[in-house]
Structure 1
Amino acid sequence: MNKIEQIDVQRKVAKCMPWILLFEFFYVFNDNVFNLISPSLSDEFGVTPSTVSLIVTLGKLFFGIATIIFTAMSDTISIRKVLLWTGFAFPIVSLLGVFSDSFTTLLISRTLFSITVAAPIALQVIIAIKYFDKLTAAKYFGYNTAIYQLAGAAGHLFGGFIAEYFHWSYVFLIPVITILGMPILLKNLPKDISRRGSFDIFGMILMTVITTSLVLFMTYHMKYPLLLLAALIGAVIFFFYIKKSKNAFLKPELFTIKGIKRSLFVGTLFYATQMGFFFIFPFIVNETYNMSVSLIGVFYTITNIAAFVTGMYSGRIIKSIGYRNITLLGGSFILVGLACIAFFVGYSVVFAFLGMGLFNIGYALFFSGYLSNFTQLLPRHQHGAGIGIEKLITTISFSLGGAFVAMLYGQPFMMKKVVDFSSNLKSAPFSNISLILMIMIALATWIFVIVFKKNFNQVNEAEETIA
């Protein structure tokens, strides 16, 4: 492909990217709304809160598994065919949710919703790496986090309104508009071809069993050790399987690449911290300051919008300071945000929301830089498998982070003030949890600096021109 043809392909793919990113908006929006209205669903269907939590838990679980499978498959299958197939299926699945008249049908609808939307969300990363230069791909990673934050803001702001004045089922109706973008995808997505290679069904099944068992074990706060046992047995079988199988979708040599294991550990600490903080923050502002849910939603929205703006400008920030430095800058924002909570949570709610704002901005910066650096470690033919593993780490880390913080919260030893010097009697556990998360981020940042040297920071002039 010559330079002119390459630029033409990039322009066509660039027309598709906003529509592909739109799928992420509706997934996050849907997720936030159902988090918000869970108590109402418990009353409407006459089920316990723990049963209602399955709507969110299973949705996240199957979304995580589907993203792993789609990214791993992208090394050998046609991305165009998968995107078009799931793109046309997604509005149909959304309409099924509108007509859910029982808890069971709602649960099925949410699961199918999560599986079909996983393809465009997972493959947008592969598309950015495949068709664009490094800087433009990083810019789209920034847009990814920006859309995530915007959808979070919209979910917090409008979710309750829709549920209260209309009905929760209308949340499924809105994503149907994605069908309008299908002609654009049909016209502009490059006609890539499937490469020769077998589909590793057994490996996928094993990975699904391992992920499902481990995530459910952590989701239910480690109450069911048989789930952990199933995950461990599955992991042992999977380990010996990929060593002997010639067609395993996850190649053992992936982990022999210099820096991969430590880079994934960095991602584990960052993603676990993110979910742990998101889990505990509503408790911080509710129990320490007795704030109403509606007011919390307004403040959430403000911090989400700040992170959205940051994500949209991530490409320009990278041009100014580089890939490595934007990741370190993101880590610094996260660290300072957590410090606001750890040291000042007992004084004023202003510090709590300042901490949340800095935390969200930090992740918008971190994600665009970290993913760019991580993919630089991967050979081109391992991009799909590498991103698939990164998605697996994200899924498990989210569950681990939430369960870890939930386990700490309420423990007697967490009531002892360490860096909280306020007179507030309720702030000690939140200060201590934030301090522990700070240590995790500091450790992750230190490892990142070791793995990614200054040469990972460079932005080429050719990239600046294309971007």
Structure 2
Amino acid sequence: MNELQKEDIQRRVARCMPWILLFEFFYTFNDNVFNLITPNLSEQFGVTPSTISLIVTFSKLFFGIASIVYTALSDIISIRKVMLLTSVAFPVATLLGVFSQDSFTLLVVSRILFAVTIAAPVALQIIIAIKYFDKLTAAKYLGYNTAIYQLASAAGHLFGGYIAEYLSWNLVFLIPVLTIFGLPVLFKNLPKEVTLKGSFDAVGMILMTAISTFLITYLTFKMQYPLLLIGAVVCAALFVWHTFKSKNPFLKPELFRTRGITRSLIVGVLFYATQIGFYFVFPFIVNKTYHMSTSTIGAFYTITNIAAFIIGMFTGRIIKKIGYRNIALLGGTFIFAGLGMIAFFVGFSVVFSFVGMGLFNIGYVLFFSGYLANFTQLLPTHQHGAGIGVEKLVVTIAASLGGAFVAMLYGQPFMMTKIVDFSANTQTALFSNVSLVLMILIGLATWLFVSVFGKSFNRQEEFGQREPGTSAQGQV
């Protein structure tokens, strides 16, 4: 391919990127709206908070599974074909959600289909940026991705509250249909690729989905159905057996033999699980404790998202000053402080709760900008793609389990005893204790992070500048 052809392809792909980023916006927007209105849905459908959490956890689970499937398929099927197929299916899937107002089951199914179809453009945008652009341009688009995430979160919290309170929450499914207008642009400009021969481990994918679904459902229904746990254990045993027998397994065992990878993934698991668990319980905190309307909660949420967005715009400068490792530790400190604000002061002024949420959001922007860079340093060059795919799968499943874990704790008698809640409010011990549990998880995760990533990982330059074919594993 000559330079003119390469430049032409880059121009055409650049025309597609705004539409692809729009999928990221609608995915995050939809997710944040449903995180916000879970108390309303719990009352509308007459189900417990733990049951209503299935809307969040199943969506996260199937999004994670679908993301790794699409990423793996992109090696053996044209990205163009995968993108066009899912982009056509997505408006149909999201329209189904418009009719789910009177059926909790249909709502859960709609959220799953929404997640499965939108996962392709959201997951593949990273591969497209890296494949067709130089490092600087690719980094620019990844930066746009982060900005879109924060703006969509702010929009979801601000407008979602008003939609739910003054219109109807099912209309949230109608807005993403706008993506259909981008189909002609994608069809005309996405490059036609020559595909390579390969295979995909469908059995491994099905078993991984079954394990996660059994575990999430078991936790969501407060461990009342041991058959679900038995099902998860049986599927896990089959998955391990199949992984070592398969020539091209869903999860590659050799990746986990790289020093530090397993502990690093556990760090990601704990941070992601804490994030989704806290996002699930926070609307209940402000709704049950301070009796705030959904639109008011959304407005306050928006302020914390904008604060995180502003900090996120300066992460590059912060990294240049303190390094990738230290920015991750700084983020962990903010998260710990935000949870502490809730644990100790939830029964007092609502200001403490939203300051805590603000610190929490800022902490995650800082933490993940450093964590992913450090995780990549652990990987040999030839395993970057597989490693990032595994990280995405593992932490997304963990996020689903985090929501289910907090839902399991919600309302348990042993969570009603005041430990660090010194307020006179008799209703806040549950929320204080949930935040305390999450603080412990973050403390453990930070300790593991430090044990894996020593000071030698605190690069302030571009982390990809080491010699090709080498890894940083020897620095641990």
Instruction: Report TM bin, short chain.
Output: 0.7 to 0.9
Alignment of 1:27-426 (within 5 A): 27-35=27-35, 55-98=55-98, 103=103, 108-130=109-131, 143-186=144-187, 188-426=189-427
Q: State the partner residue of 2:469.
A: none
Separation in 2, partners of 1:72, 1:223: 36
Question: For the Cα contact (< 8 Å) 2:24–2:148, is it kept in 1?
Answer: yes
Distance 1:319 1:11 in 2: 31
Contact 2:165–2:294 (8 Å) recurs in 1: no
Q: Distance in 1 between matches of 2:191 and 2:318?
A: 30
Residue-by-residue CA offset, 1:140-195 (whole Å, 9 max, x unaligned): 55544443333233223222433455444432222122233344444554544433
The answer to whether the 8 A contact 1:142-1:368 is kept is: no
The two structures have a TM-score, normalised by structure 1, of: 0.85
> Which amino acid is 1:114 matched to?
A
Displacement of 1:330: 1.4
Larger deviation: 91-100 or 346-355?
91-100
Shift of 1:267: 0.5
| CA deviation string 1:12-47 (max 9, x = no partner) | 655544332221221232234345556777888x77
Q: How far off its partner does 1:411 sit?
A: 4.5
Q: What secondary structure, in the 3-state scheme, does the structure 2 residue paired with 1:376 have? A: helix
Structure 2 Cα separation of the partners of residues 319 and 133 of structure 1: 21
Taking the aligned partners of 1:284 and 1:40, their CA distance within structure 2 comes to: 13
Whether contact under 8 Å (1:71, 1:387) holds in the other structure is: no
Are residues 1:26 and 2:54 paired? Answer: no
* 1:267-308 CA distance string (max 9 Å, x none): 011012112222332333334434333322221121122223
1:356 deviation in Å?
Answer: 0.4
Paired with 1:349 and 1:134, the residues of 2 have a C-alpha distance of: 44
Q: Report the 3-state secondary structure (helix = DSSP H, G, I; strand = E; otherwise coil) of the residue aligned with 1:111.
A: helix
Q: Which runs of 5+ in 1 are unaligned?
A: none
Q: Aligned in 2, Cα 1:457/1:72: closer, same or farther, shift over 3 Å?
A: farther
Letter in 2 for 1:328: L
Q: Conserved in 1, the CA contact under 8 Å of 2:243 and 2:251?
A: yes
Find the residue that maps to 1:198 and give its secondary structure: coil
**Partner Cα distance (2:429, 2:163) in 1:** 36
**Equivalent pair of 2:320/2:461 in contact (CA under 8 Å):** no
Q: Could you tell me whether the CA contact under 8 Å between 1:97 and 1:109 is conserved in 2?
A: yes
User: Which amino acid is 1:394 matched to?
Assistant: V
2:244 maps to a residue whose letter is: K
Are residues 268 and 108 of structure 1, via their aligned partners in 2, closer, same or farther at CA, if it must alter by over 3 Å?
Answer: closer
Whether the aligned pair in 2 keeps the contact of 1:322 and 1:458 (CA below 8 Å) is yes
* SS of the residue 1:248 aligns to: coil
What are the within-5 Å matches in structure 2 for residues 407-446 of structure 1? 407-446=408-447
Q: After superposition, what is the alpha-carbon deviation per residue over 1:179-216, rounded to whole angstroms, capped at 9, x for unaligned?
A: 33344444554544433321222222222222222222
Aligned length: 463
Distance 2:142 2:444 in 1: 24
Q: Secondary structure at the match of 2:199?
A: coil
Cα 1:450–1:293 change in 2 (3 A) is: same
Using structure 2 for the length normalisation, give the TM-score: 0.83
Letter in 1 for 2:19: W
In structure 1, distance between residues paired with 2:408 and 2:169: 31
AA aligned opposite 2:404: A
Conserved? CA contact 2:23–2:121, under 8 Å: yes
CA change 1:141–1:362 in 2 (3 A) is farther
User: Where in structure 2 are there 5+ consecutive unaligned residues?
Assistant: 466-476
Q: CA RMSD in A?
A: 3.5
Between 381-390 and 367-376, report the one with greater CA deviation: 381-390
- How far, CA to CA, are the matches of 1:135 and 1:178 in structure 2? 27
Q: Give the letter for the 1:237 counterpart.
A: L
Q: CA deviation at 1:119?
A: 0.9
Q: Is the 8 A contact 2:54 2:108 kept in 1?
A: yes
User: Using the alignment, how far apart are the partners of 1:138 and 1:214 within structure 2?
Assistant: 36
State percent identity of aligned pairs: 69
Conserved in 2, the CA contact under 8 Å of 1:219 and 1:399? no
Shift in Å, 1:86: 1.4
Three-state SS of the structure 1 residue aligned to 2:268 is: helix
CA contact (8 A) 1:203 1:248 kept: yes
Residues 404 and 116 (structure 1), Cα distance of their counterparts in 2 relative to 1, 3 Å cut: closer
Check the 8 A contact 1:269/1:440 in 2, yes or no: yes
Contact 2:150 2:305 in 1 (8 A): yes
Matches of 2:256 and 2:362, distance apart in 1: 31
Residue 265 of structure 1, CA deviation: 0.4
Q: Please give the alpha-carbon distance, in whole angstroms, between the structure 2 residues aligned to 1:456 and 1:5.
A: 39
Which amino acid in 1 is paired with 2:249?
A: A
Q: Write out per-residue CA displacement over residues 411-453 of structure 1, whole angstroms, 9 at most, x where no aligned residue.
A: 5554554444444444444333323322221221222122223
